[in-house]
Amino acid sequence: MKKKIAILGHFGGDQDFLDGQTVKTKILYNELKEKTDWDIQKIDTYWKRKNPIKLLFCTLSALIAKKDVIVLLSINGMKLFFPILSFFAKIWNVRIYHDVIGGSLDKYVEQYPKFKKYLNSFTVNWVETEILKNGLKNNGVLNCKVIPNFKKLNILSEEELPDRFDPPFRFCTFSRVMKEKGIETAIKAIEEINREKGYEFCTLDIYGAVDNAYKKRFNAITAKTGKAISYCGLVPYDKSVDVLKDYYALLFPTYWKGEGFPGTIVDAFSAGLPVVASDWNSNKEIISHCINGLLYPNVKIASLKDGIKNLIDNTDMVMKMKLNCIRDAKKYQPDSYVNYIVSVLAR
C-alpha cells in the first residue's frame, strides 16, 4: 500500500510564482515525487484569500486522513495554521514536519509566545541555518534540524568558466525586486563607479519579480538611470545557471528582515558567480569572505561599492572564487537532503 502524505504550502495555484517560498515548496514536492512512489497531496495556501473555505476543508481532511504532513508557511500562514496543526499533532498524533521559510522564526517566537508551544508540538522544524537553529534554541524551541536551501541545478563545469573579463564588467542581481533587497544600493554603486571612471565601466542587470508595493518607485528610479542599468524580467528557477554564467559577480546588498538562506546564492554559486553581499542575517554562514564572495561592511570593504571595486581590481582572485563557487554549489544539490527527508517520513 502506498504511503500517503500531504504538503501544505504555497504552490501558486494556476499562476507562475518565482518567489523563494513557492520555489522551495515546488522543489520539495517534485523531488519527493521523483524519489518515491508515495501518494502526495498538495494543499495550496494560494487559495487562502480566493477560496478559504475550500483550503480549510482540504487541510482538515488531510490531517484526519494522513499521519505525515509537511508544512511550509509564511508568517500569515503560521498564524492561521499553527493552532490547527498543533492540535492535530497532540490529539490525533499527526506527525507535522515544519520546513521553515526564511530566517525570522526566532523573532516571531519572541513576538508571538504561543509559537513556542506550537513549534515544540511538531515532530521537527527543519531550519535553513545554524544561526536560526541557535536563535530558536535560545527561545525554547528544541526540536530543530538544519537542512539548507537546495535546488536541482545544472552546475557549471570548470571548463565552462570564462577565462577572462574586460570592461564593461557585468554585474547582476537575482532576487525579488524591492528596496529591502538592496536594489537601490546596487544601482547607486554601479552608477557612482561609472561616474568616477567617466564611461560605462560596469553594468547592472536586475532580474526578478518586482514587489507590487515597490513598482511605482522602481519604475521612477529606472526611468532616470543610464544604459548601464537594465531590468531584465523573470527567469524560471531551473534556467538560472544559463542566464547568470557570463556575469562577473552577483550583488546581494540585502537588509530584508525575513532573509534566511537566500536561494539566489545557490543560483549564483551554481553559475560560478562570486557574491558581494551585506553581512546580514545568515549570509556569513554561506558566503566565505574572499573565498566564494565578499561580505561587507568590514575593515577593508566598507560598502557595496568598495566590494565591487575590489573584485574589479583583483581579477585573478575572482577566477579562483569562481572555481570555489561551483565546488561549493554541490553542497546544495537536493539528493542527500531529500534522501534524509524520505528516510524520516518512512519510519
Axis crossing angle, helix 75-91 with helix 52-65, rounded to the nearest 10 = 30
Q: What's residue 1's pLDDT?
A: 80
Report the pLDDT averaged over residues 269-298.
98
Distance CA 204, CA 260 (A): 24
Gap between the Cα atoms of 272 and 293, Å rounded: 11
Per-residue model confidence as pLDDT tens digits over 180-217: 999 999 999 999 999 999 999 999 999 999 999 999 99
In which element (H, E) is residue 231 found?
A: strand 229-233
Asked whether the whole model's pTM tops 0.75, one would answer yes
What pLDDT is stored for residue 253 in this prediction?
A: 98
Instruction: Summarize pLDDT for 18-35 with one digit per residue, the tens.
Output: 899 999 999 999 999 999
Q: In terms of DSSP H, where are the helices of 124-262?
A: 130-138, 183-197, 215-224, 240-244
Q: Output helix, strand, coil percentages for the chain, rounded to the nearest 5.
A: 50, 15, 35
Residue 102 has pLDDT above 90, yes or no: yes
Whether 40 shows a pLDDT value over 90: the answer reads yes
Average pLDDT, the chain: 97
Q: Is residue 347 over pLDDT 90? A: no
Cell numbers at residue 273, please?
Answer: 558567480
Supply φ then ψ for residue 113, to 5 degrees.
-55, -30
3-state secondary structure (DSSP) of residue 131: helix
In this prediction, residues 232-258 reach a mean pLDDT of 96
> Which set of grid coordinates corresponds to residue 24?
522551495
Number of Cβ within 10 Å of residue 79's Cβ equals: 14
